[in-house]
Structure formats: structure tokens, C-alpha cells
Copies of this chain bind each other. A is one copy, B any other.
């Protein structure tokens, strides 16, 4: 099996740096930097994260950071992993219960840190935290009789669902803010659509808007809608398991 070189970022995330024998002892470590960056992102959003602001937060000169990360992009990638919490503990609950919890927890931390959404696109999960999430999901499905490939697909799909759901909620909030209207996101959204749609080109959508489907859905997003789609997925998984074991 050919050895693949570890991308430098990945090595750093796992602390696999070859520690040097010479020179002054480093005065910080990647963790401190990443924490500072996360703190800033939480406070000011991703735009607030500049090499200079992070450096100030840590208390060093801007260029010092480059001793620990290869570039700003690298920093962002490491942040994306470090900002995730630990996955829910696996305590023998049935897979469906655990995965529901898992998916919801996944969405929830994305809601709390919307800037993560912008980062999720960059790399496949390869940090300690993300992989722990993956590992737990695989474990939850261990005695379903499903193969690894299937289990991985399921975990990916659920994580994707959580991401999407969070992204949607966040996007709606943004529009609400942009329109600087106090009206709830979805209602405003429906309202905007109503102004713009022509009934011929968009018959069904127009009908939906007229039926106030968006207005009604306004509070859905948080709970019912999430559960709704999730249950679709879980039902599908359930069916798969049953099929496989019959």
C-alpha cells in the first residue's frame, strides 16, 4: 500500500509536529491560536478573523502566527474541527434514539456557530473532533447488521441533513436582518416571493405563498420541520435494516 503524505494541516490538527531540537522554546502552541480565533469568530463573525486580530488576541505579532499555521486557510480548517463539541455519549441507547440525538446536537452547534457553515465546504472531516462524531455514529449502528460502507453513508447523510437545516435557518435569519424587518425570517421570505413571482411561471409556488405556507411554517423550522425531515431519513434507514436482516 502506497504511503500518502499527510497534508500539513492534518498533521497539525493531530499534533504530529516534529518538535525541533534547537532554538528557543515556542511561546505558544496551535491550540492557543485556534482558541483565540474561535473566540473572535464567535464574537465578530468570520470576517472578524484576520491574522492581525488573532495575533492581537493572543498577544503576539501578526507574523508570529505563521510559525504555527501555513496560511490563513489552514487556520480556518483547524478552527472548523476544533469548534465542534464532543458528540453525545453512546450509552447503549437504540440506534434510532441515539442518531436522533446525534443529528440534533450536530445541528445545534452549527446554529450556535453559524460561521462553521461557511467552513464546512473546505475539507472532508479529518480532524479529531469530526472523526469522533463519525466514529460514534458508526458505533451506534454496530449491531444493525449493516456494512461499514452503508453505515458511513448513513452518517454522512445525517450530518449533511443537520448542516443543511442549520444553513437554512441561518440564511433565513440573514434575510430577515438584511431586510431589517422585525418580521420573522420565513414570513418575510414568503412575502418577498409574493412580490416577485409571476403565477404563470411558478404556479405551485405561487399557490404555496398564497396559502401562506411560509408564514405558517415560520416557527416550524426550529422543531417540527427538523424532526419531519429527520424522520424521513430514519424511516428509510429503518426500512433498510429490516430488509437487510430478513
By a beta-carbon cutoff of 8 Å, the part of chain A in contact with chain B is 1-7, 10, 14, 16, 117-118, 120-124, 126, 128, 131-132, 134-136, 138-139, 142, 147-154, 156-157, 160-161, 163-165, 167-168, 171-172, 174-175, 178-179, 181, 183, 188-189, 191-193, 195-197, 201-205, 207-208, 211, 213-214, 216-217, 220, 225, 228-229, 231-237, 239-240
Chain B residues near A225 (CB-CB < 8 A): 149, 153
Is A213 in contact with B149, judged by CB distance below 8 angstroms? Answer: yes
Is B204 in contact with A142, judged by CB distance below 8 angstroms? Answer: yes
Chain B residues near A151 (CB-CB < 8 A): 208
- Number of chain copies forming the complex: 2
Instruction: Pick the contact of A201: B1, B132, B203, B228 (CB < 8 A).
Output: B132
Chain B residues near A120 (CB-CB < 8 A): 167
Instruction: Pick the contact of A213: B131, B142, B148, B207 (CB < 8 A).
Output: B148
- A22–B118 alpha-carbon span in the complex (Å): 42
Distance between A13 CB and nearest chain B CB, rounded to angstroms: 8
Instruction: Pick the contact of A236: B136, B160, B231 (CB < 8 A).
Output: B231
Q: Is the interface of A mostly helix, strand, loop or mixed?
A: helix
- What would 18 A/B residue contacts be, using CB atoms closer than 8 Å? A4-B181, A4-B191, A7-B175, A122-B171, A124-B189, A134-B205, A135-B202, A139-B203, A147-B213, A148-B207, A153-B228, A157-B161, A157-B232, A160-B164, A231-B236, A232-B240, A234-B236, A239-B239
Is A191 in contact with B236, judged by CB distance below 8 angstroms? Answer: no
Known A-B contacts A213-B152, A236-B236; the reply to A16 vs B205 at CB < 8 A is: no
Is A121 in contact with B157, judged by CB distance below 8 angstroms? Answer: no
Instruction: Pick the contact of A124: B172, B202, B232, B235 (CB < 8 A).
Output: B172
- A3–B132 alpha-carbon span in the complex (Å): 47
